[in-house]
Amino acid sequence: MAEITESAVRTVLETVIDPATARSVVASGMVSGIATRGGHVAVTLDVDPARGPALEPLRLACEQAVRAMPGVLSATAVMTAERAAPPPPPMPSARPARGGHGHGPGHAPGGGRIDVPGVKHIIAIASGKGGVGKSTTAVNLALGLAANGVATGLLDADIYGPSMPRMLAVKEKPESADGKQLKPIERYGLRTMSIGYIVNEETPMIWRGPMVSSALEQMLRDVQWGELDVLVVDMPPGTGDAQLTLAQRVALAGAVIVSTPQDIALVDARKGLNMFRKVAVPVLGIVENMSYFLCPKCGERSEIFGHGGAHEEADKLGVPFLGEIPLHLDIRTTSDSGHPIVAAQPDSPHAQAYRNIAGRVWKQLSANQRGPRSAPRIVMQ
């Protein structure tokens, strides 16, 4: 069988036209790399991060065109934002007073602070590493806010592994009335958006730092969030450059850090805390997830990981401790089946624990709230 050459692949890619420019991906300089091995071909497309997920059909078209070449066994096209990426904005030296939503001297020059008109407070739910229950906390905290009368939205910014399609059982694609802005998908009284609603789960994608930032920017700016008291942003896990850029660029009113009680997770939580401190975003507090094991059969409580570590750590670091959530099968099964526990079992003690955490978060946010608008009433039990 004839060897597949780079130039043959390039020739085929010349037939793939970017509708935005009416030029081929080759002619517009988008193809930054072609690698072939046996019948396997990998193409790298260097793209303008501002166009973000809108380029997904073009990426698929490239794959299809290459896959159709005789002798090609597999074809993968990945998008990067290497050349087109603007440099990350410098650290703001000062930030506006809280509640100011990014107007004034805190604006990062160049990138500009991402603000959402109509949304009073944007808060980030973050963790130092993956798998600690950040997304579970984000969705149940958002539901806890909504249950208490706070108009709440939920944005899944975990672009590497969006979990909202699963946690909220969303199968439909968001619609757009005007072809410009997407309508958020409503679930359990929350307005929600996730990159996972738009992009197929199996789609391989390399979202480099600037790309993550631009996708998030689009999901903040190009979604009809409407009037909201709080927009809860489920951040990508970890404390790398992409996360730092998000923490810096989004006009955050505060951050909630989720940790498990193990020492190692707490070290990661401290990294998360330092990241927000670096960009002067107030940390609203730490949630200890999988705090203790509550036996679903006998109700016995076992402190598997030496519970209480996050509370001590919060005290040591001078940030509020927002509460603890046990490791419980119902929490896992409800969120993994698309009916998070605060919505599915509102009378359960777990739902109450999340509502209490939501109450503590709201108390801090509303303390910073200006203006005559009366705050929704939070019931703490």
Residues that bind ligand ADP (CB under 6 A): 127, 130-136, 163, 237, 289-290, 325, 327-328, 331-332, 335-336
Q: Which of 278, 311, 237 is nearest to 90 (CA)?
A: 278
Judged by CB, which is closer to ligand ADP: 59, or 350? Answer: 350
Q: Which of 186, 190, 130 is nearest to 163 (CA)?
A: 130
Q: Give the SS3 label for residue 85.
A: coil
**Tokens matching residue 8:** 């043959």
Q: Give the SS3 label for residue 122.
A: strand
Please tell me what DSSP assigns to residue 165.
H
Q: Which residues contact 117 (CB under 8 A, 6 or more apart)?
A: none
Specify the amino acid at residue 192.
T
Shortest Å, Cβ 151 to ligand ADP:
24
Q: Which residues contact 231 (CB under 8 A, 6 or more apart)?
A: 116, 119, 121, 122, 123, 152, 153, 154, 155, 225
Q: Give the SS3 label for residue 366.
A: helix
Judged by CB, which is closer to ligand ADP: 268, or 313? Answer: 268
Shortest Å, Cβ 237 to ligand ADP:
6
What are the angstrom distances between the C-alpha of 369 and each of 99, 191, 198, 322? 6, 21, 33, 20
Judged by CB, which is closer to ligand ADP: 68, or 329? Answer: 329
Say if residues 283 and 276 touch (Cβ distance below 8 Å): yes
Shortest Å, Cβ 262 to ligand ADP:
13
Judged by CB, which is closer to ligand ADP: 102, or 133? Answer: 133
**Tokens matching residue 34:** 């072609």
Shortest Å, Cβ 169 to ligand ADP:
13
Judged by CB, which is closer to ligand ADP: 132, or 257? Answer: 132
Judged by CB, which is closer to ligand ADP: 36, or 260? Answer: 260
Residue least distant from ligand ADP (Cβ): 133
Main-chain phi, psi angles of 354, to 5 degrees: -65, -40
Judged by CB, which is closer to ligand ADP: 163, or 243? Answer: 163
Shortest Å, Cβ 233 to ligand ADP:
13
Shortest Å, Cβ 327 to ligand ADP:
4
Shortest Å, Cβ 291 to ligand ADP:
8
